[in-house]
Amino acid sequence: MEDLKSLLKKLVEATGPSGHEENVRNIIEEELADFVDEIRVDNLGNLICTKKGAKDSPKAMILAHTDEIGMLVRYVEKEGFIRFSYLGGFFDQMVLGQRVLIHTEKGDIKGVIGSIPPHLLPDEERKKPVKRDKMFIDIGANSREQAEEWGIKIGAPITWLGYLDDLGNNMVTGKAFDDRAGCAIMVQTLKEVKAECTVIGVASVMEEVGLRGAQTSSFTVDPDFAIALDVSATGDHPGIEERQMPVKIGKGPGITIADGRRESLGGGLISHPKVLKLLTETAEENHIPYQLEIFEGGTTDATAAATTRGGIPSATINIPTRYIHSPIEVLSLEDLSNTFKLLKLSLENAHKYF
């Protein structure tokens, strides 16, 4: 578990919003260099790592996305305050009052996300959540010219300032568990797996803006089946009823039966029965706890794989995570290590299924 935790820390504290994943990619490349037979980066920025299996054995693809939700500098006010675009799905309430890093050619610049304090707001507005167009980033600059002198430019990427911290009962908190938790498991699996099948780990780019890296990499890799590693929301805290989201932290990896838009499960994944069988039977045989889940409200890289070429049999394993898409996501290290076990053993079992 220590290995996974230190990997997670390293990956979470690296920054990589969609389209700017190189820091994360470099860490994974360095971690895996001595453990796989071939590593390459495709035109979009996906890192494709191959660990060869027996001759003519099936090809398994593991997808974990390297990008985190982030922002882009959109406009600099003449007083030096910065307006921003969202890159990924943000919840305005999670944005206000946070610390951020703006990444420039001259280095990282710290900033805070401010808005009008409640004392100065009209009564009506004080009752409502603050929207993005009322927020700005304060980097301490006095003018647009000064901000530009420090390296701020239109399009400069922005990420939360966040680090890994411990909570009770083996839980940790931090930013970008979505999907650095998946990346950590993929790395550890490629290091330790001894499978008959060929295992291809893809550290994909631009998931948060529409599964773009998974789309191109599944086409090139052309595997016999694919498993995406990602995070999913839980229903184990105040405000959610169990019937709405029965997945809980600490009860094992979530195996997704289906996901997609809330009203229809459109635009998502219906997991392939053969991959589901491999995952659930491996979990049962090895007494690994798991949770079957239907996730209404989002999807993962597996969706792109499933509709590539003639259709790649695909499924998703989700690490139960609270407060997803915030700088204080929470997960259990026990779930992390059970997810790793499930993936590793499934890959070692896969030649019997494919």
- Site residues for Zn ion per CB under 5 A: 178-179, 230
Q: Which is nearer to Zn ion, 82 or 265 (CB)?
A: 265
Q: Does the CA dihedral 194-199-200-204 come out positive or negative?
A: negative
- Residue 273 beta carbon to Zn ion: minimum distance, rounded to whole angstroms: 24
Which positions touch Co ion (CB under 5 A)? 178
The entry of Co ion, Zn ion, none that residue 31 binds, CB within 5 to 8 Å by partner kind? none
Shortest reach from residue 23's CB to Co ion, in Å: 18
Could you say which of Zn ion, Co ion, none residue 68 binds, taking C-beta under 5 to 8 angstroms by partner kind?
A: none
Q: Which of 264, 262, 259, 268 is nearest to 318 (CA)?
A: 259
103-107: Cβ within 8 A, 24+ apart: 103/15, 103/20, 103/156, 103/157, 103/158, 103/159, 104/150, 104/151, 104/152, 104/153, 104/156, 105/151, 106/150, 106/151, 107/151
Minimal distance, residue 179 CB to Co ion, in Å: 7
- Residue linked to tokens 């948060």: 208
301 makes contact, choosing from Zn ion, Co ion, none, with CB < 5 to 8 Å by partner type, with none
139/100 Cα distance (integer angstroms): 9
From 31, 207, 208, 329, the catalytic residue: 207
Query: What DSSP state is assigned to residue 308?
Result: S
CB of 242 to Zn ion, least distance (A): 23
Q: Which residues, 6 or more positions from 111, have their beta carbon under 8 angstroms from its beta carbon? A: 82, 99, 100, 101, 102, 137, 138, 139, 140, 158
Please give the Cα distance from 139 to 245 (Å, whole number): 39
Return the number of the residue (269 or 345) whose C-beta is nearest Co ion: 269
Q: For residues 177 and 324, what is the distance between their CA atoms, to the nearest angstrom?
A: 8
21 binds, among Zn ion, Co ion, none (CB under 5 to 8 A by kind): none
Nearer to Co ion, 21 or 178 (CB): 178
> What CA–CA distance (Å, rounded) separates 338 from 142?
51
Q: Nearer to Zn ion by C-beta: 111 or 327?
A: 327
Q: Which is nearer to Co ion, 178 or 335 (CB)?
A: 178
Distance in Å, CB of 105 to Zn ion, minimum = 28
Q: Phi and psi for 240 in degrees, rounded to 5?
A: -120, 135
- Report the nearest approach of Zn ion to the CB of residue 271 (Å): 16
Which residue's CB is nearer to Zn ion, number 262 or number 309? 262
- What tokens were used for 226? 């694919």
Tell me if residue 207 is catalytic. yes
> What is the smallest separation between the CB atom of 231 and Zn ion, expressed in angstroms?
6
What is the distance between the alpha carbons of residues 336 and 264, in angstroms, rounded to a whole number? 30
Among the residues of the chain, which ranges form H helices? 2-13, 22-32, 123-126, 144-149, 177-192, 212-221, 273-285, 301-306, 333-349
Q: Are residues 242 and 334 in contact, defined by beta-carbon separation less than 8 angstroms?
A: no
Indicate which of Co ion, Zn ion, none lies near residue 293 (CB less than 5 to 8 Å, by partner kind). Answer: none
CA distance 55 to 81: 59
Residue 259: contacted member of Zn ion, Co ion, none (CB under 5 to 8 Å, by partner type) = none
CB-nearer residue toward Zn ion: 282 or 316: 316
Report helix angle 333-349 to 2-13, nearest 10: 110
* Residue 230 interface partner, choices Co ion, Zn ion, none, CB cut-off 5-8 Å depending on type: Zn ion
Catalytically active residues, by annotation: 207
